Structure 1
Amino acid sequence: MSLKHLWNVWGEWEIRVLVLSSLTLQVFLLFAGGLRKRISDWWLRMPLWLAYLLADYIAIYALGNLSQKKQKLCDGSRRDGELQLLVFWALFLILHLGGQDTITAFAVEDNELWLRHLLSLVSQVVLAGYVYWKSRPGVRLMVPAMVMFVSGVTKYGERTLALRAASMGSLRSSMLTPPDPGPNYAKFVEECQSRMDAGLVARIIIVPERPQEEDVHMEVKREEYGDLVYRAHRFFLTFRRLFVDLILSFQDRIDSLAFFRRLHMEQAFKVVEIELVLMYESLHSKALVIHGWLGRGVRVFTLAAPVLYAILLILISPWTYADLRRGASTSSDRLRPLAGAVFWLISYFQPEKRPRWSNQISQYNLISYCVKDTPRWYKRLMERLEWRWNFRVKTMWDSWRYTNKIAVSEQLKRLVFDQLKSKANSTMDPKSYRKLGEHRGQWALQRKGLYQKLGWSVDCEFDESILLWHIATDLCFYANNDPLPLAEMSREISNYMLFLLVMRPFMMTASIGQIRFGDTCAEAKNFFRRDDEIKHEDCAGRLRDVNTSIARPRDVKGDRSKSVLFQACKLARQLLELEGAATEEKRWRLVASVWVEMLCYAAGKCSGNAHARQLSQGGELLTVVWLLMAHFGVGDQYRVESGHARAKLVVDT
């Protein structure tokens, strides 16, 4: 078979292959596009990325290919009918360019390119119309052609509108509240002056409008799943402002606290999970466009018969259930049975106990990394590429080789929930809520009466505190042959925080964390490699044996290296020397409390945009904690501190 013959065969089948390839990619995107909100593994993320990019390229290339063959379509050959049918596929390609409801943007940055998609919409629609007009179809194809053309343009327009609506600028502007001039100051001053001119004694007093104090020990009760879905949608409409760095009002805090204080731990996390799913759909799908009565009506026209799965996705969405339930409660009870049917679908396909995110945290351990990262020629090559040419191949290798994932335990969630609830209940002063979010271990140490002794380890830079407590946690963990469950949980948070510091630095406060980590690893490797064969627990034992009381590590090393290895040994020794009854239990309750506080501090300091970026990668525990903190009113998400205080004019008679 000659090369020329193969080329002719390809020319004959090229359009068919391209259209079928485009269709295959669209089916894959439809079914797999929504999975990444709860799956963070590379085996899904990489194929999705390739399919997302190739889907548009193939469709656009096929349209261009069809336009080049317009002369052949008009030659009047006996295969004219078949070729006209091939050109009819141009309209299907427009439908494909409209994308799938489950994925309009692979990353949040794609939303900012909506103008490019608008230009592509215009050019490709014109091209498809031109190709089809040149084919001069018969009357029998005219009607389906028009239906398909309108459907394709509508769907493509939906995608462009969805990208625009999900861009950060558009999201932010859509959430801005109408300008509020406040009380009429000029009128108030004039009224006050007129009273004084009339010889009356006028006084100005400030009447604060603070929320009434509530019972912080209100009864905890289990809510119905339907109520959780409905309230999650309502809270989302308010708390989504955090993702674009807008503020919340004191009334938002009152409403949220009143609801979350009476929730069980697992139901509080469920509400947050549903909110994050709604935010993910707002950023990466067509939710903002199609979830409305107009959008759903258009969807019946564009999707009704071809894609039943897409219609099912609309029905089992909290958006649809919340709209139906709101309509049933405000206008007519006729919608109540329909709302009940939609909720039945939700509870069947998305039961309450099923996580709405990956429910996993990554683990990265410094000592384990230093022990396993033995010198090899290919690692030296990767390091050379990284440090000389800025190709971060060694960092990617370390992330793949030394990072693993574990499930978030219910005990860990309980620990976070109890600490946040305790902080929320510890004060009714609105100004104190922000201060509670600034603690990164101080509050836990003060409650245990150990701030004077251990405060130095949390009052330093945050990345330094993470490394100090990470190494110290490991040393204490291996000091006991039978670690307590609380010890294992503390080590899980410790490894997760180090992963964020090293592999997700954009989610942490600006610091030299990666430099400090590198220097600490370099010193640890030099210390461990005095022996050829050494295990993780042996390394911990050797570090514990170092006597740091002879001289301070910083005095010996100076400031050239940012390593904190032996300062962490000092912290570990102080923790192991804690006295009192039930010392082991007491020590790990302290360590766990410090780590939870550090986790909450990091969550509060991470920008809303960084949290949004992680929603498309299975989600992060840090984001879940961040939103839970906002619901408990802990942190600086609330800038209105004392309500709408009003000045009042009092005239003495």
Structure 2
Amino acid sequence: MPSYIPLHISKAVKSIWDRWNIRGAILFSLWLQVLLIMVAPLRKSARGKFNIILIWFAYLLADAAANFAVGLISNSQRNQYDKVGHKANQNSEENSDLLAFWAPFLLLHLGGPDTITAFALEDNELWLRHFLGLGFQAGAVFYVFIQSLPNKNLWIPTLLMFVAGMIKYGERTSALYNASLDKFRDSMLKEPDPGPNYAKLMEEYDFKKKNKLPTQISSTLEPDKEAKASDIPPKTDRLKDLEVVHYAYKYFQTFKGLVVDLIFSFRERDESRDFFKIRDPEDALKVIEVELNFLYGTLYTKVEVLHLKTKKIYVGYILRFLALACVLATLGIFYFKVNKHEFRGVDIGITYTLLLGAIALDVIAIFMLIFSDRSIASIKDPERPPWWAPIYKAFLVLMRPWWKNCTCNCKYKHNSEHKLLATPLVVRRWSGSISSHNLIRYCLKSNRKSIHEFPSWWQIMFESILRFLKLYECFDKCATCICHVIEKCLSPIRKGLGKIFWPCFEKIFFFCAKDFMDEMVYVSLEPFSLDLWKFIFVELKTKSEFADTPETATRISSARGEWALTNACEEPERGKLLKYLTGVPYDESILLWHIATDLCYHHDNEKDQKNNRQDDDTENPTDQQDNKHEELTYRQFSKTLSDYMLYLLVFRPTMMSAVAGIGKIRFRDTCAEAERFFKIRDLHRNQDEKACEELLGVRTDVGPQEVKGDRSKSVLFDACMLAKELNKMNNKWKIMSKVWVELVSYAASHCRASTHAADVSQGGELITFFWLLMAHFGLGEQFQINEGHARAKLIVGK
């Protein structure tokens, strides 16, 4: 038996590889650049896993493909010489001059597109590695160029492309360096402030005391030297689109220090709080959206490098247009001056593809740069915009949040419409969705559910056109019938394919990527509701009105539901509920209130359905209908925030690391107990309502810990006790929604700021909006600087 297995590669395969390895690597590198510049911006506005994975693969392969191609070209240049240093017989398939001309294009590709310099926040910390890579790759390209000399036809175009490649690669390295947390922190720090000369003052004081002069020290606060009028006048009515960008950039410049845990003055807090207190919630949402978009551009793209300005000279713009000019000049020289008869036709085609591809990528990048929020913010005076500002205004109209009136999936008699975010993907600044995970649904392996369906943006546009043409009524009826027929036909096919293929994939992924598959299968997406945002905004605004001192602001931002209970419950009720919030660890309170919310939600849903059947022929007064609408709205708020917090606890542990404790262990123990209970009661998938009814039917006169002990961290039946307490209250949904806002606020304020910054590149999270809105309202511990210095004077009595 041979000690090895012989492998044979045919000559035809080797010939194809020798002919196309360099060409294929270069074209593949160009294709990756096109993919990145078009798809990378979508990662801040889409939460899809496959989209993120695609961008991740392209980001990693882009550098690898370019480096590999440079190595192949360098190796081919080395092999063209024999042992004594004379040129050997060159492969008829390759031309050393043309290969040397292709090499600088790979420097251009290593510079990457403007839309992505870092995939994750940690990539910025590797700026030194990229700087060394710049040196090594530039050296390799220069080596290839030297090896090709004398290069009579292409040495000038090669040098021009080398300059363009160095500029692009230098831009990326500079962007990574500026976005590293240390550099980011240094850029935010002001000049060192030693304060008044304490030692000199005390020397004078001691001298006068020794000479027995009646001396005392009098101190007064000097005015804050930084207190000055804002460049943008205050505005009390609704904000225009251009003003939204300007205010967002202004507060981004102030509060971007949150990312590196800097502290701020009370002047900055008061200015921000006064601005947001008079804002409409929708305007506040627009400002925060754009503010987070500025943060994304600074940390993950080249936008700050391109806007680099030194002594009123836009260095970034000059270098970018110089790079483009070099590529255009190269195209002109290659087309008009270079003798192309010695090159193969396919190589000429590849060369034109590389040149036109580089020009197209630069033109797209310049177009994106011109219409970026950073460029729009450069308009100095929004009240007196320049003549070209209307172009930006028309573009900003498309960038507005699009809202669509929709009713919830559960059909209630007193159901009301909600405005849901339906902004098209290409102009969206964040995903506009809230991830939801449900413990009972997960234990029963039930299908994913959402309170509202995502509105389709293309359908919104089509409806708008039909409304304009007075054809909407006809379309609405026809579309409803067509969709119903299609769904009825496709549903059995989809279910049949799922039963055939899913068990195989489930077993495969269970062993290698269980958490990933759990998120793919059991986590649903809930559309972002304007009513939910208004409720959150009002709650945080109300809390900010009591945060006059740093101690009060810290206490309020650290509340875990007790603030809501104090303002919404009477003393006996508050005492019964408080032990489930402050009397247990935070991660346990999340699980307790999540399960209790789910039990109450399904219990009230079933009760409403029974009432609907009984009240079909009766008319309720308007006041009762309004109360039903309000109760249903609070119920949906509580359900949305409850499922969202469980999603963060289970699938985003980095966002909850400061407060989660042993949350994953509690979740697994609770799931194990729930699955055992459902198995004994013979409950199957999609029987969520019946499961909740069975759980509420269990007697809980004696506490579970007294019976089971505390080895298991399950909180299933503790949550049942909480749900029964809540069901006794009339305004339970209003209380629960307020409690959930506080629980999310607590997690937002205790999450590491760098984690919030990292998440803006993955579609954005609602908890990040909490974090930034709380900072704008002055809630937190980051405001610690008083106004001005204490000016001390020596007063000598007579």
TM surpasses 0.5: yes
Choose from 356, 361, 368 the match for 2:429: 356
Q: CA deviation at 1:345?
A: 6.2
Letter in 1 for 2:370: L
Out of 340, 346, 351, the residue aligned to residue 389 of structure 2 is 340
C-alpha distance after superposition, 1:57-90 (max 9, x if no partner): 1111111111121144955769699552233111
Check if 1:465 corresponds to 2:465: no
Corresponding position of 1:288? 304
1:619, CA displacement in angstroms? 0.8
Equivalent residue of 2:525, what SS? Answer: strand
1:315 to 370, 394, 397: 370
Match of 1:8 in 2: 15
**Number of residues paired by the alignment?**
626
Q: CA, structure 1 residues 377+533, in 2 after alignment: closer, same or farther (shift >3 Å)?
A: farther
Classify 1:531/1:273 alpha carbon distance in 2 versus 1 (closer, same or farther; 3 Å).
same
Q: Which residue of 1 aligns with 2:765?
A: 620
1:258-273 correspondence to structure 2 within 5 Å: 258-273=274-289
2:249 to 216, 229, 233: 233
Question: Could you report, residue by residue, the CA deviation over 1:371-417 in whole angstroms, capped at 9, with x for unpaired residues?
Answer: 1189x99978977x5xxxxx6x3222222211111111111111110
Equivalent pair of 2:242/2:393 in contact (CA under 8 Å) = no
Q: Any runs of at least 4 consecutive aligned residues in structure 1 with deviations exceeding 6 A, and if so which?
A: 208-212, 376-383
Alignment-derived partner of residue 145 in structure 1: 158
TM-score by length of 2: 0.74
Q: Give the corresponding residue for 1:539.
A: 691
1:451/1:176 CA distance change after superposition, 3 Å: same
Distance 2:223 2:642 in 1: 43
CA distance in 2, matches of 1:606, 1:296: 37
Cα distance 1:377–1:233, how it changes in 2: closer, same or farther (>3 A)?
A: closer
Pair 1:219–1:174, CA change in 2 (3 A): closer
2:533 paired residue number: 413
Q: Tell me the distance in 1 between the aligned counterparts of 2:304 and 2:115.
A: 12
Structure 1 segment 34-49 matched on structure 2, within 5 A: 34-49=41-56
Partner of 2:615: none
| 1:588 Cα deviation after fit | 0.8
Alpha-carbon offset, residue 440 of structure 1: 1.3
- The amino acid of 2:529's aligned partner reads S
Q: Does 1:180 align with 2:193?
A: yes
Question: 1:433 and 2:573 equivalent?
Answer: no
2:243 match: secondary structure: helix
Give the AA of the match of 1:130.
Y
Matched-pair contact (CA < 8 Å) for 2:241–2:397: no
Question: Could you say which residue in structure 1 is the equivalent of 2:598?
Answer: 474
Q: Is the alpha carbon distance of 1:496 and 1:231 closer, same or farther for their aligned partners in structure 2, counting shifts above 3 Å? A: same
Q: Distance in 1 between matches of 2:75 and 2:217?
A: 84
> Which amino acid is the alignment partner of residue 462 of structure 1?
Y
Query: 1:552/1:206 Cα in 2 relative to 1: closer, same or farther (>3 Å)?
Result: farther
Q: For structure 1, which runs of at least 5 residues remain unmatched after alignment?
A: 213-217, 386-390
In structure 2, do the counterparts of structure 1 residues 201 and 14 end up closer, same or farther at CA, with 3 Å as the change threshold?
closer
- Distance in structure 1 (CA, Å) of the matches to 2:289 and 2:366: 23
Which residue of 502, 515, 521 corresponds with 1:395? 515
Distance 1:132 1:80 in 2: 19
The Cα of 1:150 is off from its aligned counterpart by 0.5
CA contact (8 A) 2:101 2:157 kept: no
* 1:528 alignment partner in structure 2: 678
Alignment partner for residue 97 of structure 2, among 84, 103, 121?
A: 84
Match of 1:156, SS state, is helix
Work out the CA distance in 2 between the residues paired with 1:223 and 1:429: 30
Matched, 1:221 2:371: no
Q: 2:575 aligns to what?
A: 452
What residue is the counterpart of 2:324 in the other structure?
A: 303
How far apart are 1:544 and its partner, in Å?
1.1
| 2:216 paired residue number | 202
1:605 and 2:755 are equivalent in the alignment: no
Amino acid at match of 1:303: L
> 1:532 Cα shift?
2.6
* Cα deviation digits, residues 162-214 of structure 1 (max 9, x gap): 111111222122222222111222333345456655643635456598999xx
Residue aligned with 2:434, SS: strand
Q: Which runs of 5+ in 2 are unaligned?
A: 1-8, 82-86, 228-233, 309-313, 329-358, 403-422, 448-502, 609-630
- CA offset at residue 346 of structure 1? 4.4
> What's 1:163 paired with?
176
Measured in 1, the distance between the counterparts of 2:24 and 2:681 equals 61
Corresponding residue for 2:271?
255
- Cα offsets for 1:256-312 (capped at 9, x unmatched): 112111111011111111111111111111123112211111111223661211001
CA separation in 2, counterparts of 1:194 and 1:170? 45
Which segment is superposed worse, 265-274 or 480-489? 480-489
Cα offset for 1:338?
A: 6.2
Residue 101 (structure 1) shift: 0.7
- Residue deviations 1:473-527 (CA, integer Å, cap 9, x gap): 0111112233712212210110000000011111112400000111111111111
Alignment CA distance shift 1:626-1:277 (3 Å): same
Structure 1 SS opposite 2:603: coil
Q: Structure 2 vs 1, CA of residues 79 and 338 (structure 1 numbering), >3 Å: closer, same or farther?
A: farther
Moved more, 534-543 or 423-432: 423-432
1:596 match: 741
Stretch moving more, 73-82 or 566-575 = 73-82
Q: For residues 110-125 of structure 1, what are the structure 2 equivalents within 5 Å?
A: 110-125=123-138
Decide whether aligned partners of structure 1 residues 642 and 566 sit closer, same or farther in structure 2, where only a CA change above 3 A counts: farther
- 2:295 aligned partner: 279
The alpha-carbon distance between structure 1 residues 360 and 204, as it changes in their structure 2 partners (threshold 3 A), is: same
Task: Summarize deviations over 1:128-147 as a string: whole Å, max 9, x none.
Answer: 11112212264442222211
Q: 1:416 to 1:27 in 2, by over 3 A?
A: same
Kindly indicate whether the alpha-carbon contact (under 8 Å) linking 1:205 and 1:650 is maintained by their aligned counterparts in 2: no
5 Å matches for 1:483-502? Answer: 484-502=632-650
SS at match of 2:526: strand
Match of residue 215 from structure 1 = none
- Mean CA deviation greater in 129-138 or 41-50: 129-138
Q: Does 1:577 align with 2:728?
A: yes
The 1:153–1:379 alpha-carbon spacing in structure 2 relative to 1, beyond 3 Å, is: closer
The one of 537, 552, 564 aligned to 2:703: 552
> Residue type matched to 1:264 in 2?
D
Assess if the C-alpha contact under 8 Å between 1:106 and 1:284 holds in 2.
yes
The more displaced of 336-345 and 159-168 is 336-345
Contact 1:232 1:274 in 2 (8 A): yes
In 2, Cα distance between equivalents of 1:350 and 1:484: 31
Q: Following the alignment from structure 2 to structure 1, what is the Cα–Cα distance between the partners of residues 111 and 49? A: 26
Q: What SS class does the counterpart of residue 538 from structure 1 fall into? A: helix
Instruction: Identify if the C-alpha distance between structure 1 residues 408 and 208 changes in structure 2 by more than 3 Å, giving closer, same or farther.
Output: farther
Q: Which has the larger radius of gyration?
A: 2
CA, structure 1 residues 646+468, in 2 after alignment: closer, same or farther (shift >3 Å)?
Answer: farther
Query: Are the equivalent residues in 2 in contact too, given 1:317–1:346 (CA < 8 A)?
Result: no
Q: State the AA in 1 paired with 2:672.
A: A
Counterpart Cα distance in 1 of 2:219 and 2:728: 56
Task: Give the secondary structure class of the aligned counterpart of 1:369.
Answer: helix
Give SS of 1:624's match: helix
Q: 1:193 to 1:451 in 2, by over 3 A?
A: farther
Q: Please tell me the residue identity of whatever aligns with 2:645.
A: M
The DSSP-based 3-state class of the residue aligned with 1:406 is strand
1:406-451 Cα deviation digits (max 9, x unpaired): 1111111111100111111124234311111000101000002342
Counterpart amino acid of residue 545 in structure 2: N
Equivalent position of 1:27 in the other structure: 34
User: Equivalent residue for 1:563?
Assistant: 714
Backbone CA RMSD of aligned residues:
2.9
Superposed, which structure 2 residues align to 1:367-382 within 5 Å? 367-372=440-445
